[in-house]
Amino acid sequence: MYLIDFILHVDQHLIEFITQYGLWIYAILFLIIFVETGLVVMPFLPGDSLLFAAGALAATGAMNPWLLIILLFIAAVLGDTLNYHIGKYIGPRVFETNSRWINKEYLFKTQAFFEKHGGKTIIFARFLPFARTFAPFVAGVSQMNYRYFISYNLIGGICWVAAFILLGYWFGNLPAVKDNFTHVIFAIIFISILPALFAFAREKLYKK
């Protein structure tokens, strides 16, 4: 329940963190982004909305937007890199055994997407909840060449982090957005999963 409340009121919780921890907020955000992208068992952390809210608070002077972009870009790249190596070394066993910690349905769907779109999946998946966490893991399982992986990882990381932080910085404090922040978070979540919903609908229609 706390996680749901954190996601829906992420702006308020970030303000509380800044008040309590001061400059340590950068380390807290770094850790959240690193864990969401780096550990395949943690796909439910609020990456998109967290970046947007951080950008909005940066616009008030509470944080430095450029420092945020640099630090969280590093966190995102390191997270995907860790996830890739986890997938490379233990991934095959995860596909062969049942694990209560990892949703195999998401893994198989991400694998199918990966096989269709190749390395570009690493970039696309940055903007898709759950897929963002599973894509580097699947890349590792698939033994994707690391040089190719890291190039897609760098491009996807900077595009994702910069896009949401700057969107929050530019639009997060507009009265219409600020007064309806929870609805904006819902909109971000919905837009993020929209491609997956289209793919699901197309798959069902194709089977018919």
Mean pLDDT check: name the lowest of 15-29, 56-70, 86-100, 190-204: 190-204
60 close to 11: Cβ distance less than 8 angstroms = no
* CA-closest candidate to residue 196, choices 43, 66, 54: 43
Q: How far apart are CA 97 and CA 100, in angstroms?
A: 10
102 close to 94: Cβ distance less than 8 angstroms = yes
Q: What is the pLDDT of residues 143-172, one digit of tens each?
A: 788 888 999 999 999 999 999 999 888 887
128 close to 192: Cβ distance less than 8 angstroms = yes
Query: Which has more pLDDT, 102 or 137?
Result: 137
What amino acid is encoded at 38 in this protein? G
Q: Which residues contact 73 (CB under 8 A, 6 or more apart)?
A: 157, 158, 161, 162
User: What is the pLDDT at residue 81?
Assistant: 95
Does residue 12 carry a pLDDT above 60?
A: yes
What band does 85 get if pLDDT is binned at 50, 70 and 90?
A: very high
* CA-closest candidate to residue 101, choices 43, 38, 36: 43
DSSP state of 44: T
What band does 203 get if pLDDT is binned at 50, 70 and 90?
A: low
Average pLDDT of the chain? 78
Q: How far apart are CA 53 and CA 164, in angstroms?
A: 9
Dump the DSSP string for 72-110: HHHHHHHHHHHHHHHHHHHHHHHHHS--SSS-HHHHHHH
pTM of the model as a whole: 0.79
89 close to 137: Cβ distance less than 8 angstroms = no
Q: What is the pLDDT of residues 58-82, one digit of tens each?
A: 888 889 999 999 999 999 999 999 9
